[in-house]
Amino acid sequence: MNTDATQQAPGTGWWTEAVIYQVYPRSFADSGGDGIGDLPGITSRLDHLAELGVDALWLSPFYPSPQADAGYDVADYRDVDPLFGTLADADKLIAEAKARGLRVIVDLVPNHTSSAHRWFTEAVAAAPGSPERQRYVFRDGKGPDGAEPPNDWVSVFGGPAWTRLPDGQWYLHLFDSGQPDLNWDNPEVRAEFLDVLRFWLDRGVDGFRVDVAHGLIKQADLADWQEPQEILSGSEVDKPRPPMWDQDGVHEIYREWRRVLDSYPGERILVAEAWVEPAERLARYVRPDEMHQAFNFEYLLAAWTAPAQYAVITRSLEATDSVGAPTTWVLSNHDVVRHASRLGLGTASGRANGVGVDDPQPDAALGLRRARAASLLMLALPGSAYLYQGEELGLPEHTTLPDEARQDPTWARSGHTERGRDGCRVPIPWEADAPSYGFGPTDASWLPQPSTWAEYALDRQRGVPGSTYELYRTALRLRREHALARGPLRFLSSGDEVLTFTNGDLTVLTNFGADPAPLPAGAQVLVSSAPLDDDAVPTDVTVWFRVV
């Protein structure tokens, strides 16, 4: 087989080749000792990101919030929650990052606000039909006395997607009841977020990761939807889409946002968190006048087999090439089981939403072996890559987190049937022998850290040949040196057991089969995810090499 998968990566902006590192503020570094990570803590650890070799960091929400959903319920889009610091701390973080050559992307949550947001408190106090309620999705209920919800939609977190006020009207919340959905058909809502964009652009941020980017516009009739409430929109291009997801009207919003970003110097970017399938529909979000990037969740969820990896890589590249956009690659984030555990659950991609002590436990050694191979495969692909904090340490999911410690609203709203996302959000370890493994100056930690965390600590891995941290550093350096983000990529084999492709002057081979895969004569190995078996690549290993 000899198949071109892509041409040179489209465009010339920095984002087309970037490796972007997600920082989950409450779990990265705690400067104050209260057990919650904060902005000064992040600033104190920026040297780690520079030494690792990433190009930018993306900050999950740090805005004022009741924390009903870990900050994704925003009460004020123009300030910093005291939990995390102050606006001055944000300004310092941005400046210190830039001094190290790091760009800063911040989260923006436009689908919903917090119920503590000034707008929503005004809406609750106002009468049905008032301008204040027009900022949100309020409806009368069904039935003679309006006691039934306006439709049958359910929350992504479980339970109904509607909550009734004492005056009888219902408001929509596709997530927690403390996250009322905004009405994006209202010009006032659109104008407000244009101003929010400018507020943070003026402070020097380099872009926005847009939460639930596919959810802002709802089908006008709010029609019932008999299918299970899923955040993905289906596997066929022409399949009917859920009335709450991926409506065509969202694209008009992002065209307007793009014009705002383009008016600023320095190549500011928009990144869509759009849980949309298939890749052809996701590509609509990254047309030339809309977003710059969109997360490739189809890749994240792909099974660990050669055919599945080949299919999702080729499909992703073809879809983004069709609109002249770079492809993105991601294996872990704050919403899914860490891939060092997910890939230890078997050949399938594994559960995306939590593993508990009573669930089948991942094989830790197998998971880490596959995670290292998957990361090395991902970092060899043309386009932009996203890393989630701690994956460079090989961190697994906390799969034995006590149920009483869980804080994710999914846990409560699902009636304790979904474990939720806390297991991937546990504060990360920096020093093996320090309190809270160096997360903060005390033993305090907002989620309990596993007793095994010491073996993953950064100070146990820095400078240690073969460690996961040094594997990432080497891969990121070679990725830059060999311009792997630019391509072109050409598949040499895509059978049931081995995936092989060339990217520029390197060849990349991942062995999914049971038997070692021989390297060609004259192969000069640059990096391998695990030791080789003489001149052969063992099972669940990725290797980058040149033939000399």
φ/ψ region of 343 (left if φ > 0, alpha if ψ in -120 to 50, else beta) reads alpha
Secondary structure (3-state) at 154: strand
Question: What does the pLDDT read at residue 163?
Answer: 98
- Residue 57 is classified by DSSP as E
Distances (CA, A) of 181 to 63, 71, 75, 163, 195: 18, 15, 13, 11, 19
Site of tokens 């830790």: 364
Lowest-pLDDT range of 100-114, 277-291, 530-544: 277-291
Question: What does the pLDDT read at residue 215?
Answer: 96
In contact, 520 and 486? CB cutoff 8 Å: no
Distance, CA of 93 to CA of 113 (rounded, Å): 25
pLDDT tier, 494 (very low <50, low <70, confident <90, very high otherwise): confident
Q: Is the pLDDT of residue 382 over 50?
A: yes
Question: What does the pLDDT read at residue 340?
Answer: 96
Distances (CA, A) of 172 to 113, 133, 548: 12, 12, 62
Distance, CA of 60 to CA of 180 (rounded, Å): 19
pLDDT tier, 354 (very low <50, low <70, confident <90, very high otherwise): confident
Nearest 5°: CA angle at 513, between 278 and 479?
A: 65
Q: Which residue has the higher pLDDT, 360 or 486?
A: 486
pLDDT tens digits, 288-303: 999 999 999 889 989 9
Q: Is the pLDDT of residue 5 over 90?
A: no
**What is the end-to-end Cα distance of the chain in Å, rounded?**
22
Which amino acids are annotated catalytic? 211, 273
Distances (CA, A) of 419 to 401, 439, 445: 10, 24, 19
Which residues lie across from 328 on neighbouring strands? 384
Kindly give, in sequence order, each residue whose CB lies less than 8 Å from that of residue 471, ignoring residues fewer than 6 positions away.
372, 375, 376, 527, 529
Secondary structure (3-state) at 204: coil
Site of tokens 């190009």: 55
Q: Residue range 247-268: average pLDDT?
A: 97
Give the pTM.
0.94
Q: Is the pLDDT of residue 8 over 50?
A: no
Q: Is the pLDDT of residue 417 over 50?
A: yes
Question: What does the pLDDT read at residue 160?
Answer: 92
Q: How many CB atoms lie within 10 A of CB 12?
A: 9
Nearest 5°: CA angle at 425, between 360 and 65?
A: 135
184 is written with which tokens?
């994006």
Q: Which residue type sits at 94?
A: I
Mean pLDDT over all residues of the chain?
Answer: 93
Q: Which residue has the higher pLDDT, 548 or 124?
A: 124
Which stretches within 229-321 are classed as H helix?
Answer: 250-262, 279-282, 297-300, 306-321
Q: Residue range 422-429: average pLDDT?
A: 96
Question: What does the pLDDT read at residue 548?
Answer: 86
Question: What does the pLDDT read at residue 419?
Answer: 86
Residue 4 has φ and ψ, to the nearest 5°, of -75, 125
> Quick one: which of 148, 301, 141 has its CA closest to 230?
301
In contact, 512 and 499? CB cutoff 8 Å: yes
Residue 371 has φ and ψ, to the nearest 5°, of -65, -40
Q: Is the pLDDT of residue 235 over 50?
A: no
HSE toward the beta carbon, residue 470, CA cutoff 13 A = 12
Q: Residue range 256-273: average pLDDT?
A: 96
Question: What does the pLDDT read at residue 306?
Answer: 96
Q: Is the pLDDT of residue 232 over 70?
A: no
pLDDT tens digits, 168-178: 999 999 999 99
pLDDT tier, 356 (very low <50, low <70, confident <90, very high otherwise): confident
Question: What does the pLDDT read at residue 236?
Answer: 52
SS (H, E, C) 341-373: HHCCCCCCCCCCCCCCCCCCCCCHHHHHHHHHH
pLDDT tens digits, 190-205: 999 999 999 999 999 9
Lowest-pLDDT range of 10-14, 61-65, 406-410, 478-482: 10-14
Q: Residue range 351-371: average pLDDT?
A: 86
Question: What does the pLDDT read at residue 228?
Answer: 64
pLDDT tens digits, 129-138: 999 999 999 9
Question: What does the pLDDT read at residue 230?
Answer: 60
- Residue 439 is classified by DSSP as T
